[in-house]
Structure 1
Amino acid sequence: VLLMQEPRIPKSVEAPEQTIRTIVIMAYRTLKNNRQLRGLMGFQALFDGVCTSYFFYFQSLMETHHFSGTLISLLMVISAGMDIIGIKLTPWIQKRLSKSTLVMSLSAALVCLLLLSWFNWIPGLTVLFLTSQLLGALIEPIFSSYYNELIDSEQRATLLSVASVLFSASMIVLFPLTGWLVQTWTFSMGFGLIGCIILLLLILNKSKLNFAN
């Protein structure tokens, strides 16, 4: 690496100097003017936040119900397999579903998963856990492809970082909230209540879900 040299660029084609301030301003303007990009980033942050919370709190549930080490390891391997299946399915899904249809389908799938969690039946919760991992694996490459289509190359790295920050922000809110619900009631009731809240928000803001069009 130390032996590598930067190519010399003629002054006539040198890019204008960028500062942190100019990068932030350009990113802000892009998000402000691009409603679709803004909506997709917010949706992914919330969706990934719920799936990630489900993943971590289900591990606590396995300990509470005294799952054997072998069974936990097996479920983690199957979970990784579900991730691979989800990634393999993404090209097929992306070709057949528009952005708006995909957002509605993912929203419906997540709400159904959370509401079904209300039934405190361990075999069923295990299947739902694996399904949540499949959904989480589906959304990442598809939305990454959408971002690459919607963002200019000059802004891509910055705005992809913004998407990561939005996910972190959603986890800051969701993770302790979910933990409080699970601790106050149960795993099933906690995630069931989250499903009810998301369903209510979807009904009240149905008209705003057309951001993906």
Structure 2
Amino acid sequence: MKINNNKLEFNIIKNYIFIFLSRLDLTQGIWMIYFATKGMDLTKLGILEGIFHLVSFSMEVPTGVIADLWGRRVSRILGRLLAMISMLLLIFSNDFYMFALSFTILAISYNLESGAGDALLYDSLKVLGREEEYVKINGKNEMFMQIGSVAALVLGGYLGSKDYYLAFLVSAIIAGITFIQSFTFVEPADTLKSVRVVKYETVKKTNLLLSQIIDSINIIKGNKKVGFLIILINIVSILATSMFYYLQNFWKTQGNSEFTIGIYLSISSLLAGFMATKVYKLKELLKEKGIMISIPIIIALSIWGIVITSGAQVFYAIICIADSIAYVIISDYINKLIPSKNRATILSFQSMVFSFFMILLFPLIGKLGDCFSLNFSFIIMAIIASLLSVLNVYVLTTKFRSI
């Protein structure tokens, strides 16, 4: 057991490295601009992202079940393999349908990682008796994620200004490195064994997938806090993600180079990563409820700031910081409320809700940008964010006072 515990300790350290490398995707700050050079207008860009999230929506739960029943490590390995394949496919793609195929494969790779990665970390801590450290450790994860994003945005912006294909090729190589590294993780064996024993004793092997999904749905139905927190964390994430992608094109139309845009985005990521390491202190000051009330309001005001001022760079940085804080705090709360045997599946439900919102909102923003302007799209987003922040305050102060 001691040896196994030592291996689980290394899971935490290896996860920092994995997160940094997996976020070292040099295409994240330039892919919309790159696709635009291939003849994709804002509407088609919105549809491509919609396809990505439509696939994510349909595949999140099945991939989460794979992680719960056959291992978080197995799920992570498969995810990185598909990420590498997707990146290679993008290098040789020249039309909408090939881009759509690549995004489909990429979506499944994200699905395989989304619930599995968090579940692997939390269950490792749980076996070690250190789950109370999750907020602090997840804050460090967020920091490494943002540092990886900073490096990717700066280097990707630089390579994109020289040759887009270099950025995609380097990203494919890095995906291959993370694929190899994913084999080094150790499964929290006790947790996985207990899941399988229970499942095989109660249902036939062919019914494992259905049973796992039904159990997870019942857990969410039985604890309305979990459902609310899943919606809240995704509202914050959808607004931040949409601004991240469409601001690229917005700044490009203002005459900024890919490298300059990469600098704007990377500074925001760096600030967000730094603040993520201080979230546990913020939690002590404001408590979970204070943070959950404040974050949507801050994001709504920041989007309005982008709309009515010339300081989009500053207000986007604030959005990034708020998104990181919300992710660390709400993820910790959700993990405390759900059992290990359903953790990856329920966290995949969380990602599925995100995909659902993206399917609805992202193509709409692109269409409004084509028909009117991106600034008009941002106005609509600001209105939506304002209404949701008011609704969030009402729900937290009337329906979930115990949070």
* TM bracket, shorter-chain basis: 0.7 to 0.9
2:321 corresponds to 1:134: yes
Equivalent residue letter for 1:15: V
Match of 1:197 in 2: 384
What is the distance in 2 between the residues matched to 1:52 and 1:58? 10
Distance 1:126 1:163, change over 3 A: same
Match of 2:366 in 1: 179
What is the distance in 2 between the residues matched to 1:168 and 1:51? 14
| Structure 2, gaps ≥5 residues long | 1-182, 184-188
SS of equivalent to 1:181:
helix
2:214 corresponds to 1:31: no
Deviation at 1:206, TM superposition (A): 4.7
- CA offsets 1:114-147 (integer angstroms, 9 cap, x no match): 22222152xx011112222222222222222111
2:351 corresponds to 1:168: no
SS of equivalent to 1:67:
coil
Deviation at 1:188, TM superposition (A): 2.9
Are the equivalent residues in 1 in contact too, given 2:307–2:379 (CA < 8 A)?
yes
Match of 2:276 in 1: 87
Judge which range, 142-151 or 177-186, deviates more. 177-186
Return structure 1 stretches of 4+ with deviation > 4 angstroms.
none
What is the distance in 1 between the residues matched to 2:346 and 2:253? 40
Judge which range, 34-43 or 98-107, deviates more. 98-107
Q: Give matches, 1:1-213, under 5 Å.
A: 14-17=197-200, 19-121=208-310, 124-203=311-390, 206-210=393-397, 211=400, 213=403
- CA offsets 1:39-65 (integer angstroms, 9 cap, x no match): 010111121011000000010012101
Deviation at 1:205, TM superposition (A): 6.6
Deviation at 1:200, TM superposition (A): 2.9
What is the distance in 2 between the residues matched to 1:146 and 1:205? 17
SS of equivalent to 2:278:
helix
Distance 1:145 1:206, change over 3 A: closer
- CA offsets 1:13-64 (integer angstroms, 9 cap, x no match): 9433261111111111111111111101011112101100000001001210
SS of equivalent to 1:98:
helix
What is the distance in 2 between the residues matched to 1:80 and 1:20? 37
What is the distance in 2 between the residues matched to 1:24 and 1:198? 31
RMSD value, Cα: 2.5
Judge which range, 183-192 or 162-171, deviates more. 183-192
Equivalent residue letter for 2:351: S
Report which structure shows greater RCO (CA 8 Å, sep ≥6). 1
Deviation at 1:204, TM superposition (A): 5.6
Are the equivalent residues in 1 in contact too, given 2:293–2:393 (CA < 8 A)?
no
What is the distance in 2 between the residues matched to 1:162 and 1:103? 20
TM-score under structure 1 length normalisation = 0.84
| Structure 1, gaps ≥5 residues long | none
What is the distance in 2 between the residues matched to 1:136 and 1:201? 15
Deviation at 1:192, TM superposition (A): 2.2
What is the distance in 2 between the residues matched to 1:202 and 1:142? 17
Are the equivalent residues in 1 in contact too, given 2:335–2:343 (CA < 8 A)?
yes
Identity level (%): 24
SS of equivalent to 1:97:
helix
| Structure with more of its chain in helix, by fraction | 2
Equivalent residue letter for 2:385: I
What is the distance in 2 between the residues matched to 1:75 and 1:102? 26
